[in-house]
């Protein structure tokens, strides 16, 4: 609150669960101040990020940032789903994927 409305925030655990529920058409309230969902691709056996999740997030004006992705194939697959950001320990791998896709500036 002290930082004001320009502070970028992400959904918390409950918000991500609500967004996941909404991606399947269920009713769930989402915090309006969040600008993104920063999530792992999976949580245990549960897949968090898929096309439905990305679509539901984008429909609500939220970006999707996935962490921590170190495999080039997974990076490409997530970008194909439309994720907006990838957090990686292997930045050279990510840069190579983005160059191959023509999106590295």
Per domain, the residue ranges of the chain are 13-100
Average pLDDT over residues 28-51: 90
In three-state secondary structure terms, 38 is: strand
Statement: residue 97 has pLDDT above 90: yes
What mean pLDDT comes out for the span 37-44? Answer: 96
Which letter does DSSP use for residue 45 in this model? T
Residue 60 or 3, more confident: 60
CA distances from 13 to 40, 46, 51, 94 (A): 11, 14, 19, 26
Average pLDDT, the chain: 93
On the question of pLDDT at 5 being above 80, the answer is no
User: What pLDDT score does 22 carry?
Assistant: 92
Confidence of residue 2 (pLDDT cuts 50, 70, 90): confident
Copy the structure tokens of residue 79.
């970008």
What does DSSP say about strands 46-47 and 42-43: parallel, antiparallel, or unpaired?
Answer: antiparallel
Average confidence (pLDDT) over 62-86: 98
What digits encode the pLDDT tens for the residues 41-66? 999 999 999 999 999 999 999 999 99
Give percent of the chain above pLDDT 90. Answer: 82
């Amino acid at each position: 609150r002290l930082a004001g409305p320009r502070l970028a925030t992400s959904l918390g655990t409950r918000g991500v669960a609500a967004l996941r529920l909404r991606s399947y058409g269920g009713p769930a309230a989402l915090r309006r101040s969040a600008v993104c969902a920063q999530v792992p691709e999976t949580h245990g056996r549960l897949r968090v990020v898929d096309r439905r999740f990305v679509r539901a997030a984008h429909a609500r004006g939220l970006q999707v940032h996935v962490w921590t992705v170190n495999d080039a194939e997974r990076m490409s697959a997530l970008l194909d789903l439309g994720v907006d950001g990838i957090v990686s320990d292997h930045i050279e791998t990510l840069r190579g994927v983005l160059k191959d896709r023509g999106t590295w500036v």
